[in-house]
Structure 1
Amino acid sequence: MNRPNPPQSKSPLFLIDGYNLWWASEDIGPDNDTGTLEGARQSLISWLLETLTPELTAKTVLVFDAKNPPRNRTSLYNYQGLIVHFAVGYPDADTLMEEYIRLHTAPRNLTVVSSDHRVQRAAKRRRAEAIDSNLWYQRINHEMRARRTAQKTDRSKPNQKLSDFEVNAWLQDFGLNQQGASESLQQEIEQELKKKKRPRR
């Protein structure tokens, strides 16, 4: 069935169930409710942009249900590198996420962030990584805090080649399937980590 609002990317690294992650988060979730769905969405988008590197942000798709899409936006738009997709024309966000999973050209490189069992089953059928939203949120926060601390304390060897252990640790920390990650992806991550180790001038 051809839909008027098909997936934008066939090779994202992260496919995120927006409202599911928002409900599972501690700092930006219901306990810090702004009172509107638009405010909730924006708080989640801002957190992702602050937390993920620009390179990872550009490979992330954030999916929302289409019941109350923003009036001043199209159902699919790019916000500072992040693809935001409302499930207009689909029964729900889960159905749109299943379509992203079905069309993915390298599903073993995909991490699906959702606590919904239906979406997780769709991911596992294609051997993508599936992780509960609350676990991914906690893992990302922990990893980012650790790396910010490391950046402040260790800037002495900016050109040092990263070990295989460091690259694999990055893949594992972000919920990526290490065995399915391509060589080009590992090189990209290695370059990103090198940037983070460069001293400020």
Structure 2
Amino acid sequence: MLIYVCILDELKKRAMGSNQTVLLEQDIVRDICEETGFTSKQVQRLYGRFKALEKQGVDGYLTRESLMSIPEVSINPLGERLVDVIIQDHGEANKIDFQQFVRMLARFRRGKANTQYNTKEKKLRFLFSMYDRNHDSKIDRNELLEILKMMVGGNIHDEQIATIADHTIGELDSDGDLSITFEEFCETLQRIDVDEKMSMKFLS
């Protein structure tokens, strides 16, 4: 789970660290603040970086290529998977606009869950979606194998990875369907402070 947060944190740093002076209209900023819980200054900083990344994509949108152009994301073994989740699940037509991008980041805003986005369930569903790429609400053996191979690269033989996948499903699958449902996934993480582990502090 921590590796996902590290990649997201890098996206956040890139977004918040821009020196761009491009500004959104105040009424749009106000609406975004009310919806996501970000401050107006945070929204403007995010917008500045969004516009900088946008230059490598489509006008008004970030594309997969835009996000993969961030070096720390492109070299991370799970970078492509995270970008796919951002673009495909939180955008549309293989691109994401600014408001969609901010809503996605709002899931990881630190502090009281006072919006529809930064609840514990939203964080868990985002993490679950990293595995469940066919959107059938369960993680099957092939999906688990795929992400395990991404994480370990060529450091472990396929037979060992398969053993890990089978053991994991055997441990977590409580209903015997040879897959991991969202409920079973959440059960395994109940002792982990998900709100803390999957939250980031955004500059004020």
Q: TM-score, normalised by structure 2?
A: 0.29
Higher strand share: 1
Higher helix share: 2
